[in-house]
């Protein structure tokens, strides 16, 4: 095959993927448009209040770190170290941010960058919720009412609300992972096969924000009905360009650091500082259930806590036993759905996504003390698996599950709203 022929094939593949991407990004119904508008306005109000009426996003010197320990507005103006290494293509966001700030500085004099980032994070989380609704409708094929219920429940998660005003990589991951799941599931539903070019496109898209997320779309090759060795070869081919690209970028950052800041730590040396986030002590079991799972859904009062070398705001332990019971019940329902649908290819793909996070957090034991924001990598699985649970239950039990989800919805929305109100009164 000649070089012009290869180039033509590549451009055609990119055009096909872009056409599919464009079709996925725009709401096809008034229901989706209304859902998007509702959450966009809700999160916009919360984020605007956080930015202008509290000190949680832009904490003055001497404060307990910015919201949940993430220096949001600091990242607006500077990057470095592990932030660059962990997110090799994140500079595109900073380029966009810089151009928008230059363009809009004349219009907004106060916290211009904060407004821009709030809007972008809001768009990502709201868009991810709409894609969850579409997944429930198109792939799981639950009714519109149940899809709205499960999406609304997800929209009230503590992590979902927090990510809508947190300038970090997690809102990007939340949107892109749901996007990739929908694209892969829809392609498998239409053709019964996942194309290599689709996996390559989605691996770059997801891995460009968080490196480990690149492996999630790549695991879709195991859905194809091909010999095992063929799947391994295909996975190697589609991942090799990404691995090479990341290696080149990490090498570039390391060289740049040594040339322009020879006395400072290199990106590789800075990455080694992440060791403080590996949890191997006796608190692991509590963190696995309450911090990693429970507080991602339903928060408790935030208190100042020591994480690594920084004092940050983190949820305290649950005060009442019924909180633990609610957390455990939701976990049981989600796990039951996964077990009942093990033969379902779409659930298998979803569990493949979750397996990456399971290895990182439960085997390697990294990031349990950052679980609230790490939830952006996996919490979309909760409504999806609850949706698949409907497909495995007798019709007569649908009403029971409906009322159970409604109970979760009301309780989560109430508890998280009360916590935000309490927090605003304290720091407003």
pLDDT of residue 342: 93
Task: Give pLDDT tens digits for 23-38.
Answer: 666 667 888 989 999 9
Q: Which residue has the tokens 């198109």?
A: 138
Going by pLDDT thresholds of 50, 70 and 90, the confidence category of residue 97 is: low
Write out the two tokens for 182: 């929908």
In this structure, what DSSP letter does residue 60 have?
P
Q: Identify which has the larger pLDDT, 425 or 109.
A: 425
pLDDT of residue 7: 45
Read off the pTM: 0.84
| Range among 150-164, 237-251, 357-371 rated most confident | 150-164
- Rounded to whole angstroms, the Cα distance separating 180 from 245 reads 20
Nearest to 305, CA basis, from 364, 365, 371: 371
pLDDT of 68 over the 50 cut: yes
Please list, in sequence order, all residues whose beta carbon lies within 8 angstroms of the beta carbon of residue 187, skipping any fewer than 6 positions away. 193, 194, 195, 198
pLDDT of 124 over the 80 cut: yes
Mean pLDDT of 44-62: 73
Helix and strand numbers (H, E) in the chain are: 20, 2
Percent of the chain with pLDDT over 70: 68
pLDDT of residue 6: 44
Mean pLDDT of 287-303: 80
pLDDT of residue 421: 82
pLDDT of 134 over the 90 cut: yes
Mean pLDDT for the chain?
78
Task: Give pLDDT tens digits for 136-180.
Answer: 999 999 999 999 999 999 999 999 998 998 877 788 889 999 999
Going by pLDDT thresholds of 50, 70 and 90, the confidence category of residue 273 is: low
In this structure, what DSSP letter does residue 291 have?
I
Q: Identify which has the larger pLDDT, 346 or 258.
A: 346
pLDDT of 111 over the 70 cut: no
- Rounded to whole angstroms, the Cα distance separating 188 from 139 reads 10
Q: Identify which has the larger pLDDT, 341 or 310.
A: 341
Q: Which residue has the tokens 């996925």?
A: 24
pLDDT of residue 310: 67
Longest dimension (CA), the chain: 69
Mean pLDDT of 104-125: 72
Cite the beta strand spans of 212-322 per DSSP E: 302-307, 310-315
Nearest to 200, CA basis, from 186, 181, 210, 214: 214
Say if residues 170 and 214 touch (Cβ distance below 8 Å): no
């Amino acid at each position: 095959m000649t070089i012009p022929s290869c180039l033509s094939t590549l451009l055609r593949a990119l055009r096909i993927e872009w056409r599919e991407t464009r079709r996925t990004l725009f709401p096809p119904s008034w229901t989706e448009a209304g859902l998007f508008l509702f959450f966009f306005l809700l999160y916009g109000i919360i984020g605007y209040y956080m930015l202008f009426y509290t000190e949680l996003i832009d904490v003055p010197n001497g404060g307990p770190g910015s919201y949940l320990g993430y220096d949001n507005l600091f990242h607006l103006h500077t990057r470095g170290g592990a932030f660059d290494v962990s997110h090799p293509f994140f500079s595109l966001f900073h380029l966009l941010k810089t151009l928008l700030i230059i363009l809009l500085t004349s219009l907004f004099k106060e916290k211009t960058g904060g407004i821009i980032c709030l809007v972008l994070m809001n768009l990502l989380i709201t868009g991810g919720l709409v894609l969850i609704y579409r997944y429930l409708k198109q792939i799981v094929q639950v009714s519109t009412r149940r899809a709205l219920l499960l999406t609304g429940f997800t929209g009230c998660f503590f992590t979902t609300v927090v990510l809508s005003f947190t300038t970090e990589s997690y809102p990007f991951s939340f949107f892109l992972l749901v996007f990739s799941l929908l694209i892969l599931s829809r392609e498998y539903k239409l053709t019964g096969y996942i194309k290599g070019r689709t996996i390559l496109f989605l691996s770059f898209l997801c891995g460009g924000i968080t490196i480990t997320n690149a492996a999630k779309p790549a695991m879709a090759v195991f859905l194809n009905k091909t010999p095992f060795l063929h799947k391994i070869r295909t996975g190697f081919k589609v991942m090799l360009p990404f691995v090479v690209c990341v290696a080149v970028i990490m090498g570039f950052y390391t060289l740049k650091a040594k040339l322009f800041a020879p006395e400072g730590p290199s990106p590789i040396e800075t990455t080694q500082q992440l060791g403080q986030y590996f949890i191997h002590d006796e608190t692991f079991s509590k963190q696995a259930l309450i911090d990693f799972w429970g507080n991602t859904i339903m928060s408790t009062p935030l208190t100042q806590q020591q994480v690594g070398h920084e004092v940050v705001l983190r949820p305290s332990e649950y005060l009442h036993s019924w909180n633990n019971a609610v957390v455990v019940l939701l976990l049981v329902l989600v796990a039951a759905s996964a077990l009942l649908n093990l033969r379902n290819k779409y659930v298998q793909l979803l569990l493949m996504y979750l397996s990456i996070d399971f290895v990182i957090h439960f085997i390697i034991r990294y990031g349990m003390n950052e679980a609230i924001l790490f939830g952006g990598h996996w919490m979309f699985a909760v409504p999806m698996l609850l949706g698949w649970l409907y497909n495995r239950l007798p019709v007569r039990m649908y009403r029971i599950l409906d009322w159970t989800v409604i109970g979760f919805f009301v309780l989560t929305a109430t508890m998280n709203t009360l916590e935000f109100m309490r927090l605003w009164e304290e720091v407003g």
